[in-house]
Each structure stands twice: as C-alpha cells, then as structure tokens.
Structure 1
Amino acid sequence: MPKTYMTGIALCAVAAMSWGISFPVMDETLATIDPFSFTAMRYSAAATIFVVLLISKEGTQALNLKGERFVLAWLLGSSGFCGYGFFIFHGQQLAGKSGALSASVMIATTPMLTQVLNWILRGSRPSATSFGCIVMSFVGVMLVLTKGNPATLLAHSITFESTAFLLLGAVSWAFYTVGGSFFPTWSAYRYTAITTLLGLITILASNEAVIALAFHSRPNMETVMSVLPHLFYMVLIAGVLAVLCWNMGNKIISPVNGVLFLDIVPLTAFAITALTGAPIDSRQLLGALLVGTSLLSNNLYQRKWNFASNYGGSARER
C-alpha cells in the first residue's frame, strides 16, 4: 500500500484505540459527575486547544467562515460533539455496570450506520464486498464481547432507554464522520477546530437548558476536582489527539474506509478488561481474528478498486 494510505490507516487506528480506553475511563467518571457537565468541560478545553493549533498552522484567517457552509459545519459539530457526547455517555450511565460493554457494542454498529448515511446523503451505494467486511467485523466484535453467547448482553439488564441513547450517539458520530467529505478543501485541522468550536455553542446551551429544567444540577468544585485525572485523558488523548487523528486519517482513506476502524474501539475496551486478569477463550480469539481479517480484506479491496478506477482501461486489457 502507498505510504500515505498506510499513514491514514495508522491515524484511524490510533484514534480508535484511544476511544476504546475512554469507555472504561468514563465508567469511573460517570459515577461522580453527569455526562452533560463533563462534556461541556471536556470540549471547552478541547475547542480552545484546536483553535490554537489551527491558528498556529494556518493563521487567524482560517477562522473566517465568510462564504463557507458554516450552518452545515455547526450541524456536524453539534452532532459529533454535543450529540455523541451527551447521548453515548448518558446511555452508558443508564446501562450501569454494563455501560462500557453496551457502549462498545453500539459503537461497533457505526460502520454500518455510516455506509447507510453515505448512501442517503451522497448517493454512494456500498459495495457488497465492503458491506460484507463490515458485517464480518461486527460478528467478530460480538464474539469477543459475548464469548460467543449474545444472550449475555440481555443478562446485563440493558434497557430500551439506554439502548436508544447509545444508538443516537452512534448515529451522531456516523453523521459527523460522513460530513467531513462535504468540506474537501478544509484541512483536518480546520475541519476539527471549526466543527468543535461551533459544536461547543450547542453543548453549552444544551447543558444550561438541562440544568434549568432540573434534569441535573451544576457540579460543585469538589466534584470537578475529583474528575480532573479523567478529564485530562478525555481532553488530551480521547479528545484532541484522537479526533484530530480521526479527521486526518479519514481525509486520506475516506470516511467509508476509515469508519471500519471503529470496531477496534470495543476490542480495546475488552483488552483493558482482559489485562485485569479476565480469562480469554477461543471464541473471543476467533472474534478478534474476524475483525482483523475484515479490516485487512476491506483495505485490500479498496486498494484494488482505486487501482481499477485510476487505470481501469489498461487493467482490463491485461
């Protein structure tokens, strides 16, 4: 594979692994603070860092949105950061002890959701090969997380309410990922900074609204200080590093290919659990093998398809 394409793969993998660690981190965090206030703190810090990075890379003129589709950028930022942050972590909180597992499984549906959204928004029908790789990857994730017995998910008392919020979170991130292709002239730095900054407006307004409606109370300073170590990881690693790597990687290999790497998220969360001493059986190893095979197969297929598109005439002649 070309070096640049391999770079895109590496960037998406780094982002996915960073997010995989975030779910166990958030399990501890959500026991102390509500997901709405935490999301507001997280992206207030992340947006500031993204803007500083953008200005250092492209100058203050990069913040000028005159003549740009800023409403679409706001919708995407609101979906990717407010929608995902509120929905996925509220769903994880509602799921209780099974929160990290439930959220990981739902994230594994994002590749399928992205293919569907890409088809609806861009008219790009997914190939049977790519969709088959996605299904194989999802089956692999389920084998890993359930040890080959999907009924174990039901045993964790996953409610309809928590599942609904988790699904909304997955759809929100799928929409944000596909949306990056609507800004082909924007660098990854600009797309990340602008959408995060605009999304932050929605986050702050929504958080104030739920406080006013008494859905939750404003956390006190003691609570905020207690989650600072978790906030540090969620801002710098799962926020700044992962989101920037994700957008840069998808610029290179395209959202349709990059999104399959989200199936690394639950595998990473599972690996962290396994490191604590949890036994691993053969069905889980088979599941991990299926995920790895699907990732490799999809990328080899995309490489062959791109070659055929660029050199179709001569390739067919040979």
Structure 2
Amino acid sequence: MRSRHATFPLFAVLSWGVMFPVLASALTRVDPLNLTTVRYLLATAVLVALLLLREGPGALRSGGRAVEVVVLGVLGFAGFNVLTNLALGHAAPQQIALFVATVPLVTQLVRWVRDGVRPRPALLVVSLFALLGVGLVITRGRLDGLGQFGVGGLLMIGAVLGWAVYTHGASRFADWSPLRYTTLTAVAGTVTMLVASAVADRTGLQHAPAAADLVAVAPQLAYAVLVAAVLAVLAWNTGVRRLGAADAALFMNLVPVTTFVVQTARGYRPGVVELVGAALTIAALVAANLVTRSRPAAPTPAPTPAAVTDRPAVIDPIALVSR
C-alpha cells in the first residue's frame, strides 16, 4: 500500500526535475519572475476551476484559517519560487539544485521544532546518504566552489525553508482535501508573486513580456502549468497526506538527479562520479522505503459516521486527466 502512495511524490519530483530543462529556453524570452507569475496565474485558475467543480464554492472559504493559509501560500509558492529565481542570478543552476536536495533534512527539522517529533535516526542517515549522492551528481565530486556560494546560498536557504514549512503545513490540514489545500495556498502565493512582479516591472528590475514572447514559450508554459504546477503539486500534497511530510520529502532528492538524466538524454555525457552519485541517491530512497515499511502499523481507529457527500476526501491528480 505504501508503494502505491509513493507514486504521488515520485510523480511530483520527476515532473519538477524535467521542468528545469523545459523552462531553460523560455527564460531567454521572458524574465524569471514574470515567467513564474504567468505560470502560477494560469495554474491557479485551473486549480480554482477544479475545486469549484469537485467541492463547490464553499471550499473556497478558509474556515477561519485564512492567516495560516496565506502564510503557507506565501512561503511555499511565492517564497520558494521568487527566492530561487533571485538565487539563480548569483549562483549556477547545479548549486541551486544541490540546495533543493536539502528539503528532506530541513522538513524533518521543521517537524521537530513545530511538533516536537524527533527525526528517526534511520531516516536522517538515509537522507544524508541521499544528499551525498546528489552532491556527487551535481558537483561531479568537486566541492571547492560551494564554499563561496554567498548571496545565492542565503537566498536558497530561505527558499528551502519556505518549502519545508509548506510541506509540513499540509499535514496540519487533515480535514481538507489536497486539492483544497493546494488551491487556497496557491491563490495566496500567486497574489504575492503578482504584486512582486508588478513592482519589479515598474521599477525597471525586469520587463513585462510582450504577447509574442508568451506565444513563443507557450509549449514550455503548457508543461509548467498543467504538469509541473497543477498535477505535480496536487500529487505532492496527496503524497504528504498519505506518507507524512518527512517521508514524502525524501523524494526531493530525485529532482536534481532527474534534471541530470534529462540533460544526459539530450547529449550530455556523465562521468563515473556522477553515475555513482545517482546510484547512491536511488539506493538511499529504497532504503528509506524499507525503513518506513518496518515500522509497526498504527492501530486502526474505530469507524466514524461519514458525512453525506459525493466527493472523495483525497483527489487522485492523475485520474483528473483521464476523465
């Protein structure tokens, strides 16, 4: 059963890993912040439409949790994306990807701070091995340049922390469907990105894209919106619900590895150290799955009367496109 649940975060991280090469060409026509804002404007519109269709207008209400929703949306959507885009101006993409791989460790620390739940030693160990594998993939065994990461590193620390808090926050909305949590937090994050982008355009920090530029990058936007922003985020939050934040976050190690594989398919030839790193990361994730399976099963709670509804409590994001 847990293997089936693992397909959700796996789908998400593979989608995000493919996204970086897909968007690379789009960034030559549209500024990073504007591209991200357009992407999430479209994605949020799709999410709102899906939420209205499946759960009705009442699901758009925050139920007295507006402040928490806004904070998580700003940290998870706006914070991660904006800070990552800014960091790309100060550091190489492979260094950025290496920081993304720290999400599992940071998520466990956030859970420790907020809930008082100490990370299981075995999961910490496999997280460190997975991070080591990603480091070998990204740096090809040369770590001498990481010590001078500077401003970009500080920005990425903030970005990773924001996504870790967002991932942990999903587990605190157990009474909401993943679709509802994703949509309402996406609205908050998108509004923040829209304001930031407008300010950057008006102050000359970037230039508003022309219609011809947006048409030129339409294929990249289609993937980034429908797959990487809608289906992947829904799958991620569903995975967090079913596996827990700490276990789901382990899959983030595959994001830079996936990007590496895509680049290899496009003609890049990896070295032995990179192949060893990829194998180490995959082995660590398999070990994490085995460690999780070895936990004693929690006692099954007594059944409670179900509310009369024709909507499922958990959305299968892959099934949405097959109907």
Give the equivalent residue in structure 2 for 1:301.
Answer: 291
TM-score using structure 2 length = 0.87
| Mapped partners of 2:20, 2:13: distance in 1 | 11
1:55 is matched with which residue: 52, 55, 59? 52
Shift, 1:284, TM fit? 2.4
Aligned to 2:73: 77
CA drift of 1:125 comes to 1.2
1:235 aligns with 2:225: yes
C-alpha displacement at 1:30, in angstroms? 2.4
Q: Is 1:269 the equivalent of 2:259?
A: yes
Rounded to whole Å, the distance in 1 between the matches of 2:4 and 2:49 is 24
Contact preservation (8 Å) 2:95, 2:138: no
Cα displacement (A) at 1:53: 1.1
In structure 2, the residue matched to 1:125 is 118
Counterpart AA for 2:151: E
Quote the residue 2:104 is aligned against: 111
TM-score of the superposition, structure 1-length normalised?
Answer: 0.88
Query: Can you give the 5+ residue segments of structure 1 that lack an aligned partner in the other structure?
Result: 312-318
Percent of aligned pairs sharing the same letter = 31
Shift of 1:134: 0.5
- Paired AA for residue 17 in structure 2: G
1:219 counterpart = 2:219: no
Kept after mapping to 2: 8 A contact 1:92/1:166: no
Letter aligned with residue 262 of structure 1: M
SS in structure 1 at match of 2:276:
helix
Give per-residue Cα distances to partners, 1:280-314, cap 9 Å, x unaligned. Answer: 3333232222212211221221222243x549xxx
Do the aligned partners of residues 225 and 90 (structure 1) sit closer, same or farther apart at CA in structure 2, a change above 3 Å counting? Answer: farther
Change (3 A) 1:258 1:125: same
Kept in 1: contact 2:127–2:284 (CA 8 A): yes
Residues 24 and 93 of structure 1, relative CA distance in 2, 3 Å threshold: farther
Q: Secondary structure at the match of 2:261?
A: helix
Checking the alignment, whether the CA contact within 8 Å between 1:23 and 1:104 is kept in structure 2 is: no
The runs of at least 4 consecutive aligned structure 1 residues that moved more than 6 Å come to none
Deviation at 1:62, TM superposition (A): 1.1
- The farther-off stretch of 68-77 and 274-283 is 274-283
Deviation (angstroms), 1:183: 0.7
Q: 2:8: which partner in 1? A: 11
The aligned length equals 300
Is contact 1:80–1:173 with CA below 8 Å preserved after alignment? yes
What is the DSSP-based 3-state SS (H/G/I as helix, E as strand, rest coil) of the residue aligned with 1:209?
helix
What residue in structure 1 maps to residue 137 of structure 2? 144
Deviates more, 1:277-286 or 1:136-145: 277-286
Q: Partners of 1:151 and 1:26 in 2: how far apart?
A: 28
Match of 1:186 in 2: 176
Aligned-pair CA distance for 1:19: 0.4
Tell me what 2:278 maps to: 288
- Between 56-65 and 36-45, the greater mean CA deviation after superposition: 56-65
Pairing 1:88–2:84 present: yes
Contact 1:30 1:93 in 2 (8 A): no
Letter in 1 for 2:170: G
Match of 1:208 in 2: 198
In the alignment, residue 92 of structure 1 is paired with which amino acid?
A: L
Match of residue 20, structure 2, among 3, 20, 23: 23
Partner of 2:321: none
Instruction: Give the distance between the partners of 1:257 and 1:164, measured in 2 at CA.
Output: 26
Closer, same or farther in 2 for the Cα pair 1:16/1:43, shift >3 Å?
Answer: same
| Contact 2:134–2:277, Cα closer than 8 Å, also in 1 | yes
> What is the root-mean-square deviation of aligned Cα atoms in Å?
1.9
Measured at CA, do residues 77 and 189 of structure 1 come closer, stay the same or move farther in structure 2, by a change above 3 Å? same
Q: Relative to 1, partners in 2 of residues 1:31 and 1:164: Cα closer, same or farther, differing over 3 Å?
A: farther
Contact 2:79 2:159 in 1 (8 A): yes
Give the structure 2 partner of residue 316 of structure 1: none
For 1:277 and 1:153, how far apart are their aligned partners in 2? 26
Contact 1:91 1:162 in 2 (8 A): yes
Most deviating of 279-288 and 17-26 = 279-288
Gaps of 5+ in 2: 301-323
Encode CA deviations 1:105-143: one digit per residue, 9 max, x unaligned: 111111111111111111111111111110000001111
